[in-house]
């Protein structure tokens, strides 16, 4: 049988990003957490973690983490049917892109979280790579732009987000006096969410430009918009997030009529219990 205290330690190490934080989460010393992981690896006869150059699960660790995520959700269902068991607040760890969290996500999930006492543990990840978190067993579900489910998982399309290439009026007048030209793209600073963000590249390719461009990196949805409104650069901003600033004239398009549409898919393991099933139904009914 699997030692679930060891699995709990493994999950805490991944969720906390290290052994010290895992000990704080579990109320244990860092040494005790390390001993549980070592015991698990001895029991399996193989490592469950790669410690360098960054902390990542091995293939065996990924399978154990996925199993543990599913067990936690199934145990919640069991507590609902056997009220004599200890009732604990349910923590649901999911990967969601920052733009969704900054716009529609709260309205979609708030009713079910409040009604069922769910505590969300949100992992903010770019929509292009969120599925890796699910594959690694780090989360129970994820929202991303990938339409193909992994083996043992399902996915549904929950909607689309429209992005517009926006900047302040003064910025557009200075860097794009003749519109979105190749010369302008070579010199005008862009704003990119992070190293995995491909929206800017897709927009430039849509405009016929494939060369180098200067850019700021800003891994914050709100900060991204503030940089654009302050005239520091142009970037792909969700239409939902930009509506008020467009109406007030604080942001304008550098290429009127241009936009990018990003589909969003909700991925989840097939056997993850009723809670995740109900959350999935809620997302499926919600209109972005």
pLDDT of residue 163: 97
Note whether 146 and 95 are within 8 A (CB). no
Work out the average pLDDT over 89-108: 89
Report pLDDT digits (tens) over 245-264: 999 999 999 999 999 999 99
| Count of helix runs (H) and strand runs (E) in the chain | 13, 11
Report pLDDT digits (tens) over 221-238: 999 999 999 999 999 999
- How high is the mean pLDDT of the chain? 89
Work out the average pLDDT over 167-196: 95
Work out the average pLDDT over 44-71: 87
pLDDT range class, residue 86, cuts 50, 70, 90: low
pLDDT range class, residue 282, cuts 50, 70, 90: very high
Whether 83 has a pLDDT exceeding 70, the answer reads: no
Task: Say what the pTM is.
Answer: 0.76
Whether residue 127 has a cis bond before it, omega within 30° of 0: no
pLDDT range class, residue 139, cuts 50, 70, 90: confident
State how far the Cα of 124 lies from the Cα of 84, in Å rounded to an integer. 36
What are phi and psi for residue 16, nearest 5 degrees? -90, -10
pLDDT of residue 80: 65
Work out the average pLDDT over 85-105: 82
State how far the Cα of 159 lies from the Cα of 196, in Å rounded to an integer. 21
Report pLDDT digits (tens) over 1-23: 678 889 989 988 988 888 998 88
Distances in Å between the alpha carbon of 80 and those of 71, 206, 281? 14, 51, 19
Whether 186 has a pLDDT exceeding 70, the answer reads: yes
- Assigned token pair, 102: 């900054």
What are phi and psi for residue 260, nearest 5 degrees? -130, 140
Mean pLDDT check: name the lowest of 49-53, 73-77, 192-196. 73-77
What is the percent of the chain where pLDDT is above 90? 53
pLDDT range class, residue 89, cuts 50, 70, 90: low
């Amino acid at each position: 049988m699997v030692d679930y205290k060891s699995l709990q330690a493994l999950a805490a190490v991944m969720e906390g990003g290290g052994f010290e934080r895992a000990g704080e989460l579990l109320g244990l010393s860092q040494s005790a957490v390390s001993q549980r992981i070592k015991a698990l690896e001895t029991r399996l006869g193989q490592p469950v973690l790669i410690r360098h150059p960054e902390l990542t699960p091995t293939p065996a660790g990924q399978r154990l983490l996925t199993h543990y995520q599913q067990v936690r959700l199934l145990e919640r269902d069991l507590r609902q049917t056997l009220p004599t068991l200890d009732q604990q607040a349910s923590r649901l760890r999911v990967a969601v892109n920052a733009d969704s969290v900054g716009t529609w996500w709260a309205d979609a999930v708030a009713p079910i979280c409040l009604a069922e006492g769910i505590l969300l543990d949100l992992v903010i990840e770019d929509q292009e790579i969120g599925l890796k978190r699910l594959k690694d067993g780090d989360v129970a579900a994820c929202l991303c732009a990938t339409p193909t489910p992994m083996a043992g998982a399902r996915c549904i399309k929950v909607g689309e987000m429209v992005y517009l290439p926006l900047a302040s009026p003064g910025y557009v007048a200075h860097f794009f006096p003749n519109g979105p030209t190749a010369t302008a793209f070579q010199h005008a600073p862009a704003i990119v969410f992070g190293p995995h963000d491909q929206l800017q590249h897709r927009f430039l390719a849509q405009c016929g430009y494939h060369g180098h461009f200067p850019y700021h990196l800003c891994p914050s949805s709100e900060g991204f918009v503030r940089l654009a409104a302050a005239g520091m650069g142009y970037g792909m901003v969700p239409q939902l997030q930009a509506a008020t600033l467009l109406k007030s004239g604080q942001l304008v398009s550098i290429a009127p009529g241009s936009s990018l549409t990003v589909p969003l898919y909700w991925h989840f393991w097939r056997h993850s219990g009723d809670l995740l099933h109900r959350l999935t139904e809620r997302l499926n009914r919600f209109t972005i």
